[in-house]
Structure 1
Amino acid sequence: MKRRAGLVVALSMLLWLPAPPVVHAQAGSVKVEALLPNTAVLMVNGQRKTLKAGDSFQGVKLISADASAAVLEINGERQQLGLNRNITTNFVAPVQRQLDIPRNERMQYITSALINGRSTRVIVDTGANVVAMSARHAAALGVDYKAGSRSKLETASATIDAWMVTLESVEVGGIRVDNVRATVAEGDFPSTILLGMTYLQHVELRERDGVLSLSRAW
């Protein structure tokens, strides 16, 4: 997929960087193998996975963790599980969600998104290392960007003031990611919100015959 011409997002800090879904119910085994602050190593159905708070794997979401236990969410219910403790339960295996976006005449992939629960248009842009929006967009979405940290954003023609913020959530085609880092530029640039890598790193991207597919096992 081509990067959007003329855009370079460079920040003054390092960043952490519709087919109907099919759901199968199955018996699941979950074991806690290691615990760190807000991090846990789980064995889920025989597969080892390190999760940070908020991450999900095979239908199991880590809510929090400390030295004594992990709080997990399975089928919408929260359970506390200690080190080397194992539970067997029936839970829903992940749903494969996919959104197909056709390329327009300007070689752009434009779709709708929910940012902090509010609908807006976005351009999928792998050349942007963060989700990027203007102050006008932030006001429309209820984002108090001046409570964030000041930064600078370089465009093809100038360097402008910007603020780094954390969005509560970004959802595209039913694929939701929480706590997404974003930059808000003073003024009206960019004209359309750029769906950058702080969201896109959480999904699988495939482009074929002018159609970009975003997918993730939920």
Structure 2
Amino acid sequence: MAFKHKSTLLILTAGVFSCTPAWAASVSVVGLFKDKAIVSIDGGRPRTLSVGQTVQGVKLVAADSGSASFDVDGKRRTLGMGQSFAGGAQPGARQSVSLTADARGHFAAAGSLNGYPMTFLVDTGATSIAISAAEAKRIGLDYKAGEVTGVGTAAGVVPAWRVKFNTVKVGGITVSQVDGMVVETGLSVPLLGMSFLNRMEMRRDGQTMTLTQRY
């Protein structure tokens, strides 16, 4: 079987995980107000920042209805509505991201899939990145053009399709052309499987897991 995992029934609880890039973050502005801005950091869910607040290395310095100014890794960036800034690693450096486990020891990673924000559950038992058919439809993926197969879930064997994701982003790490699976039913959380993790150096220290991009 090309795909296996033990995590299909896990429910992801928002707010119990952290995902911190080693270098400059990517920032997208989705809302502007006086002294506040709604931003998406590293492809995560939009959140409201107040002037002076710092999240994941991104500090909101000033904001009004026209633009927002941020301090990202010591550099000032001014963005208007709908604009974004994509940070990068220092020359010669490899991108890293640190993940913090929840009370059950599970790791989640905020990122994006083909440019669409998504939060993954790290699953070393999954041979590839896996998402549900509902998620695939949400991001406009024509998954039924892929090769059909079957995968084992807690509910038994269900239809699935092999696909190729153009880009997978976790924190500041971006990987292109990654093997994946779209599972018809029984998958409650997107899984970050070995087709992505095999390209990383994985190091765990207590409740922290660090992923460093190898290639």
TM bin, normalised by shorter chain, reads 0.5 to 0.7
Written as runs of structure 1 = structure 2, the 5 A alignment for 1:54-93 is 93=91
Q: Deviations over 1:133-179 (max 9, x none)?
A: 11011111221101111011112340000101111110111111111
**CA 1:95 to 1:217, structure 2 compared with 1: closer, same or farther past 3 Å?**
farther
Cα distance, 1:114 vs. partner?
1.1
Q: Does 1:163 align with 2:133?
A: no
Name the residue aligned to 1:194. Answer: 191
One-letter amino acid of the structure 2 residue matched with residue 102 of structure 1: T
Q: Deviations over 1:155-207 (max 9, x none)?
A: 234000010111111011111111111110113x3111000001111111111
Distance 1:135 1:101 in 2: 26
Unaligned runs of 5+ in 2: 9-19, 25-89
One-letter amino acid of the structure 2 residue matched with residue 158 of structure 1: G
Q: Is the 8 A contact 2:131 2:183 kept in 1?
A: yes
Name the residue aligned to 1:58. Answer: none
TM-score under structure 1 length normalisation: 0.57
Name the residue aligned to 1:206. Answer: 203
Name the residue aligned to 1:6. Answer: 6
Distance 1:94 1:127 in 2: 32
Written as runs of structure 1 = structure 2, the 5 A alignment for 1:24-173 is 93-173=91-171
- 3-state SS of 2:95 partner: strand
- 3-state SS of 1:106 partner: coil
- 3-state SS of 1:96 partner: coil
TM-score under structure 2 length normalisation: 0.58
Cα RMSD, aligned residues only: 2.4
Q: Is the 8 A contact 1:166 1:179 kept in 2?
A: yes
Distance 1:176 1:97 in 2: 9
Q: Deviations over 1:7-30 (max 9, x none)?
A: 59xxxxxxxxx46549xxxxxxxx
Distance 1:182 1:170 in 2: 10
Distance 1:95 1:113 in 2: 20
Distance 1:134 1:19 in 2: 27
Q: Which runs of 4+ in 1 moved over 4 A?
A: none
- 3-state SS of 2:187 partner: coil
One-letter amino acid of the structure 2 residue matched with residue 191 of structure 1: S
Unaligned runs of 5+ in 1: 9-17, 23-91
Name the residue aligned to 1:215. Answer: 212
- 3-state SS of 1:126 partner: coil
- 3-state SS of 2:196 partner: helix
Aligned residues: 136
Distance 1:159 1:121 in 2: 25
**CA 1:114 to 1:19, structure 2 compared with 1: closer, same or farther past 3 Å?**
closer
Cα distance, 1:131 vs. partner?
0.5
**CA 1:97 to 1:155, structure 2 compared with 1: closer, same or farther past 3 Å?**
same
Cα distance, 1:94 vs. partner?
2.3
Percent of pairs identical after alignment? Answer: 30
